[in-house]
Structure 1
Amino acid sequence: MTLIQFIKYFKSPVGKPLMILLFLLVFTSCKKEYQESPYAEMINFSIKDAKGEILKAGLENQEIILYWPPEQAVPEFITPSITLAEGATVLPASGTKVPFRNGEVFRVKAKNGNTTTYKIKLKINAIIPYISNVNFMKFKTKIFLTKGNPVSIIGDYFGTDAKLIKLYLIGKDDKETQVEPVSVNPISISFIPDGSPGLYKRIKLVSQELTAIYEQEFELIPEQVLPSLTTVSFGQPRTLKHGDEIEVKGGMNLAVVDRVIFYNNATGGEYDLIIKEKRADGWILQIPPTLPLGVYNDLYFFFPETDYREGGNAGISFTGSITIVP
C-alpha cells in the first residue's frame, strides 16, 4: 500500500474509527510513560565501622538494623551511604552526618509524594555481661564501700576496653553516680568509689551498650584514715622527770587515740602515759609518777573500734631515747 492509498484508507468511513482508536492508544501509552514513581523505598544503607570496614544494614519493617562489631567504640555520629528506589529522595540525605542512636529517623519520599519512615536499630555483637560478686567491705552488720579504697567487680563478658565500660552507683533515691573504671578485663573490673556519702542500693555496669545490675544495699562512707605516727618531734635524747610533759607530733588522725604507752625493751614492760591534750597530728603527754626510771625508745598508741572497723594499735621507735630520772 502506498502512502497515498494509506491516507485515503483512513479518510474512508471504515478507516476513520481505526484512526481514532490508534490515536487513543498512542496517547494512553505516552501518559503511562510519564506517570510519577510511587516507590518510597530504601534499597541499601551502609556505614563504616571504627576500622573503616563497610557495614551493610538489614532493612526490615521500616527498620535500619545495624550490627556493630564487638570491642569497637560506638561512635556518636555516622555518615551513611543510602541507595533509594528510582526517583525517591531521603532526609537526611545520603552522605549527611547524623547521630548514631536507636530511633534516628530517615524519611524517604517518592516522586508521587508517598513517604516511608525508617528508624535505626542498633545491635551490638556481644554477650550480655553479668556480675557474680562485688568485694564490699563488711564489719559486723555494716556493708559498705569507702571513698578512695579500690573495689573489684567479678563476673564475665565485661570486655577489655575501658572506654566502652560505664559504672554507676545507684542511690536509695535512684540518683546515679558515675565512677571511672581503673582496670578492666573480661572477668573483673576495679574502680575507686566516689560520690556523696550515704545509702545506696545497687551497682550498674554498662559494657558495650549492654547492662548488668548487682542488687545490694550498702553505704558509701568517707575515706577511713587509721591513726598513724610516722615521725616524732624530738630527735635528740631527752631526760625527763615524773610530772614533766613532752609533745609528740608527726602523725595523722591521732585525736581518736585513747591510750599511749612507753615500752621498755629491757624488761618488756608497758607503761601508760597521761594524755594531757589530743590533736590530729599528735599529743601532749605527761610522765606519770608510776613510770619506772630507765631508758625508753619505743612508744605505742591504741585506738578504739568504730562502726566500720576494729580497734587497733601502732607504734614507733625513736632514735633519741628518753631517760626517766628521779
Structure 2
Amino acid sequence: MLALTCWSCKTEYPNLPYNDIESFSIQDADGKTLSASIVNDQIILYWPPLVEQPESITPTIKISELATITPASGTAIQLQSDKPITYTVRAQDGSSKNYTLVFQYNQPLVQAKMNLLEGKYYLSYPKNEPISIRGENILLDETQTKGYLVDKDGKETLLSFYAAPQASGIVFNTPEDLKPGIYHIKLISGRYTVLTDPFEVLLPTLYNVIKWQDMFYTGRKGGDLVLNINSREAYELYFKADFDHFIAVDNLNNEYSINNVVFDVAAMTITLPIPVSVKGDAINTLKMMDKNGKLLSVGNFNISLN
C-alpha cells in the first residue's frame, strides 16, 4: 500500500523545448578566444584584420540544457568550401533549429598608389622592370589579392607577382608585350577593389640606346658627333621603325634639329651632324623624334662642343 501511494504521487515533467546556441567561440592563431555573435539563426564570427583566414576551425559551443547539436562541439569544421556550414540544435522534446555560420573577415579599407616618379614608367631591354604600388591593409594571401593592368579601353590583364604581397605594398611583373600608353592598376584584395591613378608607359629612355656610362663625348660645331650604341636590340625593337631625327638642347636652353642621323648597328655607332649654329658650348639633352614630330625618348647628357 505504501509503495502504491508513493507511485501515485510521482510528478512527471515534460521534455524541454529549448534548442538554442548560447555561445560559440574559437581560438585564433595566437590562442586568443574569439566569440561569435548569435543573431537569430546566424552564427556571425568576425576574424581579426590582416590575419590570414584559417582553413578550418574547432569551435567550443554551449547549447540549451539537455539539447544536442550536430556537428558536436569540438568538431573541426572546414571553412574553405562553397557550401554553407549549418549547425542543428535538437531540443529534448525533439524540436530542432538550424544555425548558419557566417564567417566575416574584419578587413580595414585597402588603399593603393603607384610608386612612380611623376606617374611615368619606362620600358627597358631586355626585360622590363617590375612595377610596384604603395598601399595599406593589403591582404597577404595571394588567393585573395590580385592585380590587373587596365588599358585606356578598359582591357584587363592579370599581373603575376614579382614577390609575395605585403600589407604596405605589392610588386608585380609587367606583361612582356607591354606597349606605351595610359594605364591603371586594379587591385582586388579581399572585399575591396581599388583603382590606382593613371600612369604613362613610355618607350625606354635614351640611355638604352646611347651608351653613356664611362663614356665622355666631345664634338665640334659643324662636324660629326659619333656616339656609341648601347643596345642594338633596344634600338631595333623600339625605335628603328619610327625614328626620324634628333633635337639637341644646348646649355643655353636653345633647341636645334639634327637631321641625317646615321645609325650603324654593325659598328654600334650613331653619327650626328652638329649644326654650326649652336650657341652654347655643350649639349645637355637629346630628344629622339618620329616622322610626325612626336617625342619618342629623351635623355640628359653632357656633351662638350668645341
Q: TM-score, normalised by structure 2?
A: 0.56
Q: 1:178: how far off? A: 4.9
1:177-212 CA-partner distances (Å, limit 9, x unpaired): 356576654xxx454463575886772342xx4415
Is 2:153 aligned against 1:168?
no
Aligned counterparts of 2:158 and 2:293: Cα–Cα separation in 1: 24
Unaligned runs of 5+ in 1: 8-18, 235-241, 262-269, 292-297, 318-326
Unaligned runs of 5+ in 2: 216-222, 248-255, 277-282
Question: Among residues 114, 137, 140, which one is paired with 1:159 in the alignment?
Answer: 137
Does the 8 A contact of 2:44 with 2:102 survive in 1? yes
Matches within 5 A, 1:64-143: 64-85=43-64, 86-91=66-71, 94-99=74-79, 104-110=84-90, 113-125=94-106, 127-129=108-110, 134=114
SS of residue in 2 equivalent to 1:107: strand
Does the 8 A contact of 1:170 with 1:204 survive in 2? no
Q: What is aligned with 2:251?
A: none
Compared CA separation, residues 119 and 25, structure 1 to 2 (3 A): same
Aligned counterparts of 1:102 and 1:251: Cα–Cα separation in 2: 53
Aligned counterparts of 2:81 and 2:267: Cα–Cα separation in 1: 55
Q: 1:167: how far off? A: 4.7
Is 2:231 aligned against 1:251?
yes
Q: 1:53: how far off? A: 0.8
Q: What is aligned with 1:304?
A: 289
Q: 1:107: how far off? A: 2.5
Is 2:204 aligned against 1:204?
no
SS of residue in 2 equivalent to 1:304: strand
Aligned counterparts of 2:21 and 2:265: Cα–Cα separation in 1: 75
Give the letter aligned to residue 224 of structure 1.
Answer: L
Compared CA separation, residues 149 and 201, structure 1 to 2 (3 A): closer
SS of residue in 2 equivalent to 1:312: strand
Does the 8 A contact of 1:182 with 1:191 survive in 2? yes
Give the letter aligned to residue 148 of structure 2.
Answer: L
Q: 1:215: how far off? A: 7.5
Q: What is aligned with 1:294?
A: none
Q: 1:58: how far off? A: 1.6
Matches within 5 A, 1:253-292: 253-255=234-236, 256=239, 258=244, 275=261, 277-279=263-265, 282-283=268-269
Deviates more, 1:52-61 or 1:91-100: 91-100
Normalized per residue, the structure richer in strand is 1
Which protein shows a greater Rg? Answer: 1
Does the 8 A contact of 1:170 with 1:202 survive in 2? yes
Q: What is aligned with 1:57?
A: 36
Give the letter aligned to residue 288 of structure 2.
Answer: F
Does the 8 A contact of 1:63 with 1:119 survive in 2? yes
Aligned counterparts of 1:122 and 1:192: Cα–Cα separation in 2: 30
Supply the RMSD in Å over aligned alpha carbons: 6.0
Q: TM-score, normalised by structure 1?
A: 0.54
